[in-house]
Amino acid sequence: MAERRSGAAEALSRLSEWADAHLSLVRNLSTGLAVAAALVLARSIRMTTKFTSAGDIPVKFVEKNVKLRGKIHYVTEKGLEVEHIPISVPFISSIQRRWQSKGLLLIRLAGVELAPSGMAWLKQELKPKQLIWFQLLGREDLVLECLVLVNKGRFLSVCLNEEILRRGLGRTARIEGLHHDSRLYWKLHKRLLRAELKALKKSKGIWEEESYSERISDRISNNKFVQTLKQFVSWLRSSLSR
């Protein structure tokens, strides 16, 4: 028993001697751990912060195309008004709730020009308090350009940007906020174009209306009476010009 105590005391003595001999290393290690802890805490605070305005979102979040979670409040002509739901972390989140302000983010479907029928469909499809995910692509003043994802069941999610185009409820447009020559821009633009092409092939939505008007126009132009009338007008003009 005495030998064990002697061995433990000797080990403790050696550890103390090593710490004294490498005091600067121990201090640097402690400082490094403190800095790392501070960085982790700062990142946690940033990730758990509730954003109430587009200007509150860090530039890095937009540049890295971070996905955020939110809750639908209103569908308007300007875009979707969404309440941001931050990541919840014990202790940190409870403290932050005391001083977090209230406000809604204005989100626009990136790369999509909505038709009136598209706006009506969104108002019918999106319910108040419905949860969504939105991926940041760009920011223009107080508007966020995003890909918006809606859960359909436990394992399925639908991109509203593509769904609008797939149903023929809008047209593809430039994706604001992304560099025109970036890889991500063309990757997303191709996805949107493919969705639009499906609606075009099946004559859905606005493409059905255009197809119908084109058919009427073709019938009118191919009508024999109309052709005869055009010939008469042409002959009359040439006669008057003589």
52 and 42 in a common domain: no
pTM: 0.67
Domain contains 36: yes
**130 touches 187 (CB < 8 A):** no
Q: Both 20 and 77 in a single domain?
A: no
Give domain status of residue 118, yes or no.
yes
Q: Hey, what amino acid is at 69? A: R
C-alpha pair distances (Å), 7 with each of 2, 16, 18, 136: 9, 14, 17, 61
The residue segments making up the domain with residue 30 are 2-46
For residue 170, give the CATH number of its domain.
2.40.50.90
- Answer yes or no: is 130 within a domain: yes
**Residues 53, 157: one domain?**
yes
- For residue 7, pLDDT over 90 is answered with no
Same-domain check for residues 84 and 195: yes
Query: Residue 38: what pLDDT?
Result: 35
CA dihedral 190, 55, 73, 84 (to 10 degrees): 90
Q: What is the pLDDT of residue 32?
A: 47
pLDDT category, 220, cuts 50, 70, 90?
A: low
How do beta strands 170-172 and 80-85 pair? Answer: unpaired
Q: Are residues 28 and 54 in the same domain?
A: no
Are residues 131 and 158 located together in one domain of the fold? Answer: yes
Question: For residue 143, is it within any domain?
Answer: yes
User: How high is the mean pLDDT of the chain?
Assistant: 78
Provide the pLDDT confidence category of residue 229 given band limits of 50, 70 and 90: low
Q: Quick one: tokens of 23?
A: 């005091």
Distance CA 173, CA 108 (A): 12
92 pLDDT band, cuts 50/70/90, is low
72 and 83 share one domain:
yes
Assess if residue 236 is contained within a domain: no
The partner residues of 113 in beta bridges, in order of sequence, read 171
Beta bridge partners of 134: 68, 148
Q: What is the mean pLDDT of residues 64-78?
A: 95
What's the whole-number mean pLDDT along residues 186-191?
94
CA angle in degrees (0–180, nearest 5) for 137-142-143: 40
Number of domains in the chain: 2
* Structural domain contains residue 215: no
Give CA–CA dist 127/130, Å, rounded. Answer: 5
Do 82 and 202 sit in the same domain of this protein?
Answer: yes
